[in-house]
Chain A
């Protein structure tokens, strides 16, 4: 059984600061990693994917992956109130495998104006 762990928060960050969201996973065979943003009452929205060790940047978002430590993170620079949401980490084995795409419980992020 794969496990994906996230701190549920809430994580409170002042506007304009960097928000750092962390995720650990138990299945070493996991090969693909995703961050989803979910606003209250809405479905998850994909914001980042990362497949290899290192950093991947997209606008204000940077995903970081360290497979040796089984750790993936998401940095949000210049945080805005509209970034306030729950951020879900998800992992996938190549070819699916047991459970397919597995999610953590999410971190509730609050950006304080």
Chain B
């Protein structure tokens, strides 16, 4: 596709449930970032990948959060035992590489935990 695609665009889930959020980056982009954004705040770093490997996962808030990118393209952010505090917009961005090239965002997934 022409841009970064995230699915679903909206997700409502019950507290305690498991959710998966998907990101399909721009074709050929090797770097992929996940962020979380709450109302009135800037994007909060979660994890980024260079290729298939997680280059830095220090932003993941706890062990309920996990992300994979098995083939170096599509990535899935997985959240176990969701809590109401996980409610936010989850943003994915990709860039050609990590040399400083520009990163482009998808439209985000709005997660609501009820």
Contacts and interface: CB of A to CB of B under 8 A. Distances in A.
Contact of B105 (A32, A44, A96, A100): A44
Contact of A45 (B33, B59, B105): B105
A25 interface: no
Contacts of A80: none
B48 A88 contact: no
A96 B50 contact: yes
A78 interface: no
A34 B108 CA distance: 19
B105 A105 contact: no
A99 B43 contact: no
A99 B100 contact: no
A105 B93 contact: no
B42 A103 contact: yes
Interface residues of B, number: 28
A76 interface: no
B108 A43 contact: yes
Q: Which of A42, A44, A95, A100 has the most B CB atoms < 10 Å from its CB?
A: A100
Interface string A54-67: 00000000000000
Interface of A: 4, 6, 31-32, 34, 36, 42-46, 49, 51, 88, 90, 92, 94-106
30 contacts: A4-B42, A6-B42, A32-B100, A34-B102, A36-B105, A43-B106, A43-B107, A44-B43, A46-B102, A46-B104, A46-B105, A49-B102, A51-B100, A88-B42, A88-B43, A92-B98, A95-B99, A96-B31, A96-B48, A96-B55, A96-B98, A98-B58, A99-B45, A100-B48, A101-B33, A101-B45, A101-B95, A102-B45, A103-B42, A106-B41
Given A43-B105, A46-B104, A100-B31, 5 more contacts: A95-B99, A99-B56, A103-B42, A103-B44, A104-B42
Interface of B: 31, 33, 35, 41-45, 48, 50, 55-56, 58-59, 89, 91, 93, 95, 98-100, 102-108
